[in-house]
Chains A and B, each alone.
Chain A
Amino acid sequence: MGFMALFLETLIGGVLAGTMYSLVAIGFVLIFKASGVFNYAQGAMLLFSALLFVTLLKLGWPIPLALFATMVVTVIGALAIERIVLRPLANRSTMTLFLATLGLSFVIEGLAQGIMGTEVHALNLGVEDLPIFWGDILISQFDLYAAGVAITLTLLLALFFNKTRIGVSLRAVADDAGAAQSIGINLNFIWQVVWAVSALVGLVAGLAWGARQGVSFNLSLVVLKALPVLIIGGFTSIGGAIIAGVIVGAAEALAETYLGPIVGGGIQFWFAYFLALIFLFIRPTGLFGDAEIERV
């Protein structure tokens, strides 16, 4: 295999895999943007929905029904979390809110594993991971699907945020919650919507990751993969999450292929953080983070 072909194959594989990081990061961005909460429990929610879905499949439910039931339960769970845990804490410090979601993540993980068990389940979505050849270059069909899902989801969210009443209200709340209230926007309702949407995004991410690496406790650790993506893309930009996910995916793959042999493997565990650190130095708000729009 030639140099160029290897390079391209690594790059494309990395870019496609990176959209999976984006999927996870988007769930964080939604809640953070609208309410300033860094929802550490996003990973646990993602684990919970994937685990519920495989459990239902194992019980013999057909895929569409299991998917629907999982969606319903996930959304209800997210609404309950917002209502019972986060809303009473509104206006508290960022640290308090973060710690609340951290605690929540252990509760959800514990509950999920207590009820549905701790073994690793395979998740088969009916998408076979056949290699596709494009000339010399091998592309994973699964990655292609995952990227397609990520792109579709992003387009849907973009439509939602720009064309619907609730979507525009949501951006308004993100900009200035006080002013949004003053014109009759119900903040509690908006936060409920945001948690529900974010739970659904988490479900999609959970299924994609679950299908790739099996459904187990490890799934909730994808949070740690999302963190560098958020630092690079900015915590408040969905577009940023997509692009940063792709950057991280591509950089990781290239580093693994070209630097891995030099530094002796294991590079995928830390390279994303290394990249994020560099970004923190040059652009602390992330690529698309909200620098205040203001005239000087």
Chain B
Amino acid sequence: MSDRSKNSHPLLSIDGIEVVYDPSILGVADVSLHVDRGEIIAFIGANGAGKSTTLKAISGIAGTERARITKGDILLDQVSIAGMAPHRLTKSKKVVHVLEGRHVFSHLTVEENLRSGAFLRKPSRRQMEADIEEIYSWLPRLKDKRKIAAGLCSGGEQQMLAIGRALLTKPELVLLDEPSMGLAPIIVDEVFEIISRLNRELGMSFLVAEQDMRVSLAHAHRAYVVANGHVVLQGSAEDLAARDDLHDIYLGIAEAA
């Protein structure tokens, strides 16, 4: 990982953001973090800690849910993206957000779902076919289901589809919100294996919000723990995984020493 130091500035950098939902519900109080190129970052925390709100603030989805960034800034490649509309961010900044809870287009077929991910690039027909084949090679489970309505796929397949659809935007940074949610452990491992491979082989960066500490720390380079809207702990994934007070910090009942 030494080549990472070549780029002196991080890919994504969040400086002390506060996010408030309309009219005045605090979503996140004080979050700072950064993602370097080629990193997988685990962003862990309990229910309501502020993980999703942070990801939505980055992707701009917060704006459409009537939430505002009231303090701090979000920089991508040293340029502020705070408040940028999601479609512009995905198109011009190559950041894509995979929403919590497997938001596939349930009445569209699996393949139509994938296609829709490529629309913003307006690829030629040949390019589109090639891109989709490539996704099938990463996520082979989807190929057999290509003609099936996405709503009829299993939970694991839907999570893979949501990821595959996001990959078709050809992102540099993927914001992944709780990919493990509601999935059997064996499927969760499979999803994280794929994330690790995408990271190793394509150099894609990931910011992964998770409640599942075990699997996310096993696959991440570094991690941040968020509790009650504050980042309370950060460090390398190995260091964090080795701490025996991690669980209490995660729950917000112990302070990091």
Contact = CB atoms under 8 A, between A and B. Distances in A.
A292 B90 contact: no
B85 to A, nearest CB: 8
Size band of the interface chain A makes with B: 20 to 34
A171 B112 CA distance: 10
A168 B104 CA distance: 13
B122 A165 contact: yes
Interface in A184-226: 184-187
A294 B106 contact: yes
B8 interface: no
Contacts of B108: 168, 171-172, 175
A184 B121 CA distance: 9
B44 interface: no
A176 interface: yes
Contact of B103 (A169, A171, A182): A182
Given A172-B116, A176-B105, A292 B151 contact: yes
Given A182-B98, A183-B116, A176 B87 contact: no
B119 to A, nearest CB: 5
A201 to B, nearest CB: 21
A178 B91 contact: no
Contacts of A186: 85, 87
Given A168-B112, A169-B119, A179-B99, A184 B107 contact: no
A293 B64 contact: no
Contacts of B104: 176, 179
A172 B117 CA distance: 10
A252 B67 CA distance: 50
B165 interface: yes
A294 B107 CA distance: 10
B151 A295 contact: yes
Contacts, number: 96
A58 B110 CA distance: 52
Size band of the interface chain B makes with A: 35 or more
Interface string B64-97: 1110000000000000000001110011000011
A174 B64 CA distance: 16
B42 interface: no
Contact of A181 (B86, B98, B122, B165): B86
B149 interface: yes
A171 B108 CA distance: 8
A124 interface: no
Given A172-B105, A292-B106, A182 B61 contact: yes
Interface in B98-153: 98-99, 103-108, 112-113, 115-117, 119-120, 122, 149, 151-153
B228 interface: no
Interface of A: 90-91, 165, 168-169, 171-172, 174-176, 178-187, 290, 292-295
The 5 closest A-B pairs by CB, nearest first: A293-B151, A184-B90, A184-B120, A179-B103, A175-B105
26 contacts: A90-B64, A91-B64, A91-B66, A168-B112, A169-B116, A169-B119, A171-B107, A172-B105, A172-B113, A172-B116, A175-B107, A175-B108, A176-B104, A178-B61, A178-B64, A178-B103, A180-B105, A181-B86, A182-B59, A182-B61, A182-B90, A184-B119, A187-B64, A292-B151, A293-B107, A294-B151
